[in-house]
A and B are shown apart, each in its own frame.
Chain A
Amino acid sequence: GAVVSQHPSRVICKSGTSVKIECRSLDFQATTMFWYRQFPKQSLMLMATSNEGSKATYEQGVEKDKFLINHASLTLSTLTVTSAHPEDSSFYICSIESGSPHGDTQYFGPGTRLTVL
């Protein structure tokens, strides 16, 4: 399957600062990437769908001005958490759509642990 990397793997920041998380598809040109958030002991929640060269589509309840997504190339999507607060502390995971005929197979990155103090 496709290989997806994320950087950084973990980040600690002060409240009010902005944090950028990178998601890279290392061996596959990903037209579509997804961003998820996972709180402790909970399942993954889809935040947004990122499409190369166009605006991201956000899920209901996700603030697009707070979680800025840029998908400028077929191998890179970035998620910027603006003015982060402690409640934004979570595990952020990206994935790419595999391009399989079924369309519902995704390959996930290793995740980024964000801690906001």
Chain B
Amino acid sequence: LAKTTQPISMDSYEGQEVNITCSHNNIATNDYITWYQQFPSQGPRFIIQGYKTKVTNEVASLFIPADRKSSTLSLPRVSLSDTAVYYCLVGGSNDYKLSFGAGTTVTVRA
């Protein structure tokens, strides 16, 4: 499993855009990049997944440069309810196991 590095914490204010960058220098050719969100005392929730370029859904956008050695999760116009831990994971189709790193604690203030 490719190792990932992301900031430990980020602070933001309501209405701002939050961008969390994850480094994964050892990403393999068949690896996908997946982001999860976890609220306190809850299981993680799948947010978005991508392989290259840009992916957007109703919750977030994921930007992946051509070399795929990093990725950026973008949360548009955050609210207080977006305060959570965000995990970046990298894995491929033959690797069903997930290895969670420390994650990024995002705190949104009023």
Contacts and interface: CB of A to CB of B under 8 A. Distances in A.
Nearest to A1: B46
Contact of B42 (A34, A102, A111): A111
A26 to B, nearest CB: 14
Contacts of A43: 87, 100-103
A49 B98 CA distance: 11
B100 A44 contact: yes
Interface in A73-98: 91, 93-95, 97
A25 interface: no
B1 to A, nearest CB: 9
A31 B50 CA distance: 24
A104 B44 contact: no
A46 B101 CA distance: 11
Q: Bin the interface of chain B by size.
A: 20 to 34
Contacts of A1: 46
Interface in A26-85: 32, 34, 36, 43-46, 49
Contacts, number: 67
B46 A46 contact: no
A49 to B, nearest CB: 7
B70 interface: no
Interface string B70-105: 000000000000000001010111111111111100
A69 to B, nearest CB: 15
Nearest to A101: B93
B93 A103 contact: yes
Nearest to B43: A108
B93 A106 contact: no
Given A91-B41, A108-B43, A111-B42, A103 B103 contact: no
Given A34-B98, A43-B101, A102-B32, A95 B43 contact: yes
Counting chain A CB atoms within 10 Å of each CB, which of B42, B43, B98, B101 scores highest?
Answer: B43
Interface of B: 32, 34, 41-46, 49, 87, 89, 91-103
10 contacts: A4-B43, A36-B100, A43-B101, A95-B98, A103-B92, A103-B96, A104-B91, A105-B49, A106-B98, A108-B43
